[in-house]
Structures are given as C-alpha cells and as structure tokens.
Amino acid sequence: MFGGLTVQDTMTSVLSRLFRIPNEGKPISVIDLSTVPHEILDVVISVISRLAFDLAVWSKGGLPMLLVCEEAHRYAPANDGKFVPTRQALGRIAKEGRKYAISLALVTQRPSELDSTILSQCSTAIALRLSSEKDQQVIRGSTYEGMLDLIDFLPLLGDREALILGQGVSMPMPMRIRFDELSGKRPKNMNVGFSKSWKSQNIDRDMLDTIVSRWRTAGRERPEDKF
C-alpha cells in the first residue's frame, strides 16, 4: 500500500474504495466480515479501525466519519487478551476521535460484555429492551441517580421503544422515545423462519451439491441468495 522501488503504490485506490471517496451520493460503506475466518477477524477489524483513524488524522478533520461496529462485543470484549489490538484501535477512536471528526458507534445486545474503558467514552447511549439485570446495570451506571427509576422500564419497553441517555438528548436527563415505523422498502430480514424450516421438505442431494458449491465460493455470493 505504501509503495516502493519494485511495488506499485495502491494506497489511494484502496482507501478510495474502502471509504467511498468520492461517495457519489452513496456515503455508506458496508463491510461484510461474515466470511472472514475467526482466526484473523481481529486483525482485519484492527487494520480497518486504524486506517479510519489515521485517515481522519491526516485529513485534519476534513473527512467526517462514523465507524459503526455491529455485534461490538465480538470485537471489543471485556477481559479477553487476544482482542487487545482491536480494543486499542477502537479505544483510540473513542478517546481521541472527536478532535479529528471521527466517531464510533457500538451496536450490541450485551453491553455488559463490552470493554468497560471503551464503553465509558461513549457520550450517548440508546438502550432498547434489555431483560438481563447485568446489562441493565451498565445503563444505570451512565445515568443520574434521580433518573434510576426510568431504567426500571428497560425490560418493559415495547417494539421500537428506547431510552436515550447522555449528550444526544436536548435535556440533561434520559428520554423515552419511540422510533417511527419504516415505510416503503425495508431492510431484508436474514433470519430463517424456524417453524417454516421444520415443516419444509428435507434437502436432496442436488441441493446439497448447491450448498457445498456456495460454501466453497464464500465471499463471492451474497448471503441472501436463495436456492
């Protein structure tokens, strides 16, 4: 990527493709890591996080960016030594990113399993329904003592309801909100209908051949493609 006497410099083209520069009206990059082997997943996420931070630094804040980590407890778990490089990269964005216009969003269903140092740097928390007392305790630690009664509603929240805490609310206290229902085209649900799958006929040998072929070409085919 940095080039040399016998190596072609491709850093600009790699960064342009990875971070959509120019974005041409499509400013969101979705990086699908579902086919990346678990053994190197930590390395891949660490490199992407460091590239995003360094690009923000060297652009002197000229490229506002939000790095969203889905299933963040897998990348920055609490008390897991083998994820140290990734935790350090994400932690640096959480601590210093404000100076360079880069932000970090951590999405998880288990906030109690996130690295506490990175979690403490999050200035805004959006909490949907949480049934685990351990996860609720994490949210309680982020709110005012006088507002703790509102946290008791976490396991009782309905669909699309959430509590917002921190700098993301206009008033200095938690707010209970309800997200608008999406209209028109919605993101496709990737979950398989459990009861429907059990009632359907078992796959035959031809279907198994198709599955193995798709398995071997992982990463070349979109997961939502059906047979």
Looking at the fold, whether 56 and 117 belong to one and the same domain comes out as: yes
Quick one: average pLDDT of 67-76? 88
Q: For residue 165, give every residue at least 6 positions away whose Cβ sits within 8 Å of its Cβ, in sequence order, or none.
A: 124, 125, 127, 139, 142, 143, 174
In a domain, 148, yes or no: yes
Looking at the fold, whether 118 and 140 belong to one and the same domain comes out as: no
Q: Are 185 and 161 in contact (CB under 8 A)?
A: no
Domain boundary among 89, 122, 155: 122
Looking at the fold, whether 154 and 197 belong to one and the same domain comes out as: yes
Q: For residue 181, give every residue at least 6 positions away whose Cβ sits within 8 Å of its Cβ, in sequence order, or none.
A: 160
Strands (E), the chain: 65-70, 102-107, 124-127, 161-166, 175-178
Q: Looking at the predicted structure, is the pLDDT value of residue 5 above 80?
A: no
Among the listed residues 99, 39, 93, the one whose alpha carbon sits nearest the alpha carbon of residue 68: 93
Domain with 133 in it: 126-212
Domain boundary among 71, 106, 122: 122
Percent of the chain with pLDDT over 90: 17
Q: Looking at the predicted structure, is the pLDDT value of residue 88 above 80?
A: yes
Q: Looking at the predicted structure, is the pLDDT value of residue 227 above 50?
A: no
CB count, 10 Å around CB of 195? 7
Q: Looking at the predicted structure, is the pLDDT value of residue 139 above 90?
A: no
Q: Are 130 and 140 in contact (CB under 8 A)?
A: no
- The model's confidence at residue 96, banded by pLDDT at 50, 70 and 90, is very high
60-74, 110-124, 142-156, 210-224: segment of lowest average pLDDT: 210-224
Looking at the fold, whether 208 and 134 belong to one and the same domain comes out as: yes
- The model's confidence at residue 210, banded by pLDDT at 50, 70 and 90, is confident
User: What are 203's two structure tokens?
Assistant: 């796959």
- Please tell me the total number of residues recorded for the chain in this structure: 227
Tell me the chain's radius of gyration from C-alpha atoms.
21
In a domain, 220, yes or no: no
How many structural domains comprise the chain?
Answer: 2
Q: Looking at the predicted structure, is the pLDDT value of residue 91 above 70?
A: yes
152: left (phi over 0), alpha (psi -120 to 50) or beta: alpha
Q: Are 85 and 92 in contact (CB under 8 A)?
A: no
Domain boundary among 84, 105, 122: 122
